[in-house]
Amino acid sequence: MGPRRLPGSPRRSRESRQALLAVPLALIVIVTVGDILAPPEVHLGPFLAAAPAITATFAGPRTTACVGALAVLAQAVVATVRTSLTDLNHSLQLSALVLISVFVTLFALRRERHEQELTQLRSVAEAAQQVVLRPLPRRIGPLRIASAYLAAEAEAQIGGDLFAAARTSQGTRFIVGDVRGKGMEAIGDAALLLGAFRAAAHRQAGLPALVAHLEGTVSSDLDDPEAAEFGTTALSEGFITAAVLDIPDDSPVVHLINCGHPPPLLLHQGRITTLEVATPLPPLGLTEFADSSFTAETFPFEPGDTLLLYTDGVSEARDTAGTFYPLAERMRAAPRGEPQRLLRHLREDLLAHTPKRYLDDDAAMVAIEREASCRRDDGP
């Protein structure tokens, strides 16, 4: 499972807008008939202005203009039936209705252009993100792998969630991370980190050396010469949380360095363990503010176990009551099976937990299972 959008399609959107169009049309009919049948001292014409105003909230400028013209025509019919078009009261109502219809049509035009710009920005960002975030293979060496990416629906704010895997001569290395910020800048930072990981993971002898290399790459990119001229630093403005893992082929363990990222979860014989490191490190890009050396910590990872790597878009997803998604509990209750099945369950369960199945932040997950019978495979 590679990057994937949340539910929703243009066809459904069009069908929904067509259904909503019945509201202003029904309003025009009801107000027109009611105004014609009302006593002379009662005037319902001003309510016709609501029809184009309502239409502008969900339809484009053409539809809004058509509904506005229909409302003006209805007002003219009322004026003709009740008195005449030259009657002062109806003339003022017609003039006001024309002005309101023009105004809301311009509003609909501006909103439509804004939506088109956001759609274009999101398309470009998604295309860039799919190039950066390559789907993981389903099998590397003795490991079975599944990955999933859920994009948030907030405007064009594509996030910087990332994951990757790299094969070494003795095992497989993984990284999962989250860039602070949104949009193309976050994707650029994610591309930088992933490129450094893919280039160095194969040749760096130890995990601490690899993470030190990643830290150097991120820190050098975050240095801002312009900010330095004003006596400020860009390092406090941007950083990347990341968990970097090394899983040997021949040892039932996993080595982990966690730089400010949510801790992985380990499923072992139906029990969930949070892989909390004893010495947490700050995110990449901030380590120069903390005199910390990179030291890998080791945890059991036996055949049949499953590791879940994830970003805070998963663990911090809230329901309507503001309750965080109980990831560990839901992982424990998930049906047993291959990693693909686990992530399908968690993805659907996560969307069901959030209001209207929308996420406020992008979310990424990687499930890794060590097979009971190890089979050597060089992978990517």
Same domain assignment for residues 211 and 308: yes
150-175 average pLDDT score? 80
274, 332 in Cβ contact below 8 A?
Answer: no
Phi, psi of 140 (to 5 degrees): -135, 115
Q: Which of 122, 126, 36 is nearest to 80 (CA)?
A: 36
Mean pLDDT on 319-336: 92
Instruction: Look up residue 256 and give its DSSP letter.
Output: E
* Residue 223 domain-assigned (yes or no): yes
Q: Alpha-carbon torsion 314, 320, 322, 327, what sign?
A: negative
**Residue 125, pLDDT score:** 62
The pLDDT of residue 355: 84
Name all contacts of 248-253 with Cβ < 8 Å and 24+ positions apart. 248/170, 248/171, 249/141, 249/142, 249/170, 249/171, 249/172, 249/374, 249/376, 250/170, 250/374, 252/300, 252/301, 252/302, 252/303, 252/370, 253/298, 253/299, 253/300, 253/301
Neighbour count for residue 131 (Cβ, 10 Å): 10
Does residue 292 register a pLDDT over 70?
Answer: no
In the predicted model, what is the mean pLDDT of the chain? 84
Of 19-33, 190-204, 236-250, the range with the highest mean pLDDT is 19-33
Residue range 359-378, pLDDT digits in tens: 878 889 999 999 976 544 44
How far from 376 is each of 106, 141, 164, 168, 198, CA to CA, in Å? 64, 5, 20, 12, 21
Q: Give residue 157's region: left, alpha or beta (phi > 0; psi -120 to 50).
A: beta
Q: Is the pLDDT of residue 67 over 90?
A: yes
pLDDT on residue 235: 38
pLDDT of residue 230: 36
Residue 13 pLDDT class (50, 70, 90 cuts): low
Task: Say if CB 362 and CB 159 are below 8 A apart.
Answer: yes
pLDDT of residue 118: 75
In this structure, are 112 and 153 located in the same domain? no
Render pLDDT for 226-244 as a digit per residue (tens, 0 to 9).
444 433 344 345 689 999 9
Same domain, 32 and 69: yes
Residue pair 351/134 in contact (Cβ under 8 Å)? The answer is no
Where residue 356 falls (left for φ over 0; alpha for ψ -120 to 50; beta otherwise) is: left
Q: What residues make up the domain containing 39?
A: 3-123
Assess whether pLDDT exceeds 80 at residue 314: yes
Q: Are residues 242 and 180 in the same domain?
A: yes
> Is residue 46 situated within a structural domain?
yes
The answer to whether residue 129 is domain-embedded is: no
**Is 130 within the bounds of a domain?**
no
Q: Is residue 380 part of a domain?
A: no
Say what the pLDDT of residue 251 is.
Answer: 94
pLDDT surpassing 60 at residue 276? yes
Same domain (yes/no): 250, 302: yes
Q: Which of 134-138, 142-146, 220-224, 273-277 is least confident?
A: 220-224
Quote the pLDDT of residue 335: 86
Which CATH number is 257's domain given? Answer: 3.60.40.10
Q: How far apart are CA 265 and CA 226, in angstroms?
A: 41
Element (H, E) at 334: none
